[in-house]
Chain A
Amino acid sequence: EIALTQSPATLSLSPGERATLSCRASQSFTSTYFAWYQQKPGQTPRVLIYGSSTRAPGIPDRFSGSGSGTDFTLTISRLQPEDSAVYYCHRYDSAPQTFGQGTTVEIK
């Protein structure tokens, strides 16, 4: 099983700042099958990025994804108050699919 480890666990930043979230895999896999999600309390996870770098429909361009192999990054270029949420990474290249444990982004 390929494990995903996200860092940091919590990120506390001010509006307008840049957030960089990391997701590291225990072994390399095909980046075509990698996504980032945003989840707010009581809501369904919302896909932000899939294929490691393609923004999902309707996602603002301040969200961007990059990476390949074992290291992936989600960048939020200019934080907005509504970006406060938990962010998960997910690999779905093969079974068992796995998720990272989540990074909580707090807006000061």
Chain B
Amino acid sequence: GAVVSQHPSRVICKSGTSVKIECRSLDFQATTMFWYRQFPKKSLMLMATSNEGSKATYEQGVEKDKFLINHASLTLSTLTVTSAHPEDSSFYICSARPAGGPTQYFGPGTRLTVL
């Protein structure tokens, strides 16, 4: 149980385009989903917290207009990187937290490369 999927697993795009990454909880309902970014040899950096049906809460220094987060249902959250630039290239990971529990379950991650 507690499986989280992400799609796509890898994406390469041109600078200036937008990329959407989906995060789905497959066997549980997630009232809260989280989006992380991992830089090489660094820890996971929380970008934003999204609660179903409400606006996401962004961490300090994360541009909300650049990283659009939508949590339209209890099983789906999307992260859209708008007008992507090479510095946005990174490994993006989502996690989902079931209602009533503290543990987060992570997706497999999405490797974004912006040319």
Binding between chains A and B:
no
Mark A residues whose CB is within 8 Å of B.
none
B residues apposed to A, CB below 8 Å: none
